[in-house]
Amino acid sequence: MAGSNRISLEERGCVLIEAWQGAQGGTGRSYNYFDPAAGMWRQNWISPGVLIDIAGGMVGGSMALEGHIVYTAKAQRRPFRGTWTALPDGRVRQFFEEKRGDEGWQPWFEGFYEKSRVDKGE
């Protein structure tokens, strides 16, 4: 079973807002925008129990953002990064990793965006 996302441009196109619901019922939002002073894209991701703040730009054909994740119940903060890569079939691969001490970078989430049947005109 797949989750679902509703993506919209807000504030006269200055921010992309993603409202998502995971396959297991979790929910959250991400706010994505370009910070001209820093010259980077930023994503602030908010869901019950988790906050993510990452920034970056295009690297080798993928959008690559890096920063940190906070697990609010434990007030625990870890290094975090994500990449978005356009695939030949029209989907976009989203891949997140977190750094866990001596274990190094570990996969956190992998998902694939694709247009819904409604968006495709079906």
72 CB-near residues (< 8 Å, 6+ apart): 49, 50, 51
In the predicted structure, residue 122 carries a pLDDT above the cut 80: no
Higher pLDDT, 71 or 111: 71
In the prediction, which pLDDT does 52 show? 98
Number of domains in the chain: 1
Domain assignment of residue 37, yes or no: yes
95 close to 83: Cβ distance less than 8 angstroms: yes
In the prediction, which pLDDT does 92 show? 95
Domain assignment of residue 101, yes or no: yes
Q: Residue 1, Cβ neighbours under 10 Å: how many?
A: 5
How many Cα atoms sit within 13 Å of 74 on the Cβ side?
7
Domain that holds residue 69: 4-113
When pLDDT is averaged across residues 75-96 and rounded to a whole number, the result is: 96
